Amino acid sequence: MNEWTEGETYEQGAERTFGALPPTQGRGFARTWWGLAWIKALEDTALDGQQLKKGRTYAREGAVGAVSVRPGRITAVVRERDGSAYRSDVLLQQLSEEEWDRFLDMAVDRSGHIAALLDRDMPPHLVEDAAAAGVELLPGVGDLEPQCSCEAWDHCPHTAALCYQVARLLDEDPFVLLLMRGRSERGLLDELQIRSATRAAPQEPRGAREDERAPEGVRADEAYAALSTRSALPSPPPIPDEPGQPPVLDTETGPAPGVGAPGIDVPTLEFLARDTAVRARRMLVEALSAGHERRPVEEELTESQDAVRLAASGPEPGIVARLAAGTGWDRAELALAVRAWEYGGCPALAVLEEEWTPEPEALARARTRLAKAWEEGERPQLRAQRNRWTVAGSDAQLRYGHDGRWWPYRKERGRWTPAGPADQDPAAALALVLLEDG
């Protein structure tokens, strides 16, 4: 039996969650030899072949939800055709510290093993060398211990379906198996780097006198001379076609005792993760574009502006309600701000919120342009109040922004509402809103 203590804490960050895989037909659940070894460990352990057959059917139908993988355990919710849901866990013995120590020493001695893992491959000689060091990476008969809320004592269709699904994950990334054995990919690579650096460091002979030791650093003239032999920097990597997909955070299971915090709003957290991925890709595109270094640095958004930006991206109503509550606006005010943002970002939002007095010269130029745009007698009559000019007898208005542009507004349901993008010419902006009103 596997040794596992309920509620045991594990290395922070050493958990991965994989979204539910789509249904599949006409293929086995593993292509790689290590994925097939995982399935063999399951099928050699289970006592009832009919339960395994049902498990394969559930897995093919996409009944296995998001899979959580952490040291010593995999977890998922499996749903039957009638909608019944069961939490299923499969436990796998973690390697001891001593076993990990032997494995890491072996991997440092054979750098090709780590290169293969980074290429998402697990060559047979890696497993053989690990076994020679007394470390069993792949599970054997009886190593996959089931636990299911259906209370079956052996592998049931739910734990079998989970195992078949995990075989597909192992095909793509053998680090999933190493995580089950107790080490995350990042933690494992960090430890290997430390050990490799330690071995590469020159060892000073014992008893060496202080004045006989090699001087530290490099002479300045040698360092500057080396500049002429520098190789060119590599080309930047290609920009991805789409933003990366954030992880699926809702595993339908609560955190282990002492891990995480209760009451986390998973949909909102996933929405913020998607937004971060979109913004990161946009920033990368801008950073690699020609002339980027000559462009002015954008001012950081205030919390209020960023809430409007997020609301403009079309989140679900519950997230919009949270954004409104966080800014102190009601839903109608936030919707108005979103419309302004869609027409012109921060400048449009400033025009919506601010009333100020422009320079007389700017207003004089605007009056001249308006006078030239209409024939005498057809010119709309405007009532000027600071930076807001309202058409008499009409629900049309112009607003002048700090950026020197004029923004068209229309009164809707008693509120002045942004009616279109800005224009340097006040006559063009006013014609837009008057034309729509007509």
Tell me the DSSP string of 50-107.
HHHHHHHHHHHTT-B--EEEETTEEEEEEE-TTS-EEEEEEE-PPPPHHHHHHHHHHH
Position with higher pLDDT, 109 vs 354: 354
**Residue 3: its pLDDT value, please?**
33
**Residue 5: its pLDDT value, please?**
31
**Residue 10: its pLDDT value, please?**
40
Confidence at 7, pLDDT banded by 50, 70, 90 = very low
Q: Which amino acid is at 431?
A: A
Mean pLDDT of 291-312: 84
Angle at 32 between CA 28 and CA 38, to 5 degrees: 75
| Cα distance between residue 286 and residue 299, in whole Å | 15
Confidence at 250, pLDDT banded by 50, 70, 90 = low
Q: Give the sign of the dihedral formed by CA 312, CA 316, CA 317, CA 322.
A: negative
Tens-digit pLDDT profile for residues 190-218: 888 888 777 765 555 555 455 555 556 66
Give the other-Cβ count within 10 Å of 172's Cβ.
Answer: 13
Percentage of the chain modeled with pLDDT above 70:
83
Ordered strands of the 85-91 beta sheet = 16-18, 67-70, 73-79, 85-91, 145-148
**Averaged pLDDT of the chain:** 82
Tokens describing residue 291: 């002339």
| Cα distance between residue 416 and residue 395, in whole Å | 8
Angle at 358 between CA 371 and CA 373, to 5 degrees: 15
H/E stretch holding 163 reads helix 157-172
| Cα distance between residue 311 and residue 305, in whole Å | 10
Kind of pairing between the strands at 145-148 and 382-385? unpaired
149-163 burial, b at 16+ Cβ within 10 Å, e below that, comes to eeebeebbbbbbbbb
Percentage of the chain modeled with pLDDT above 90:
30
Mean pLDDT of 36-48: 89
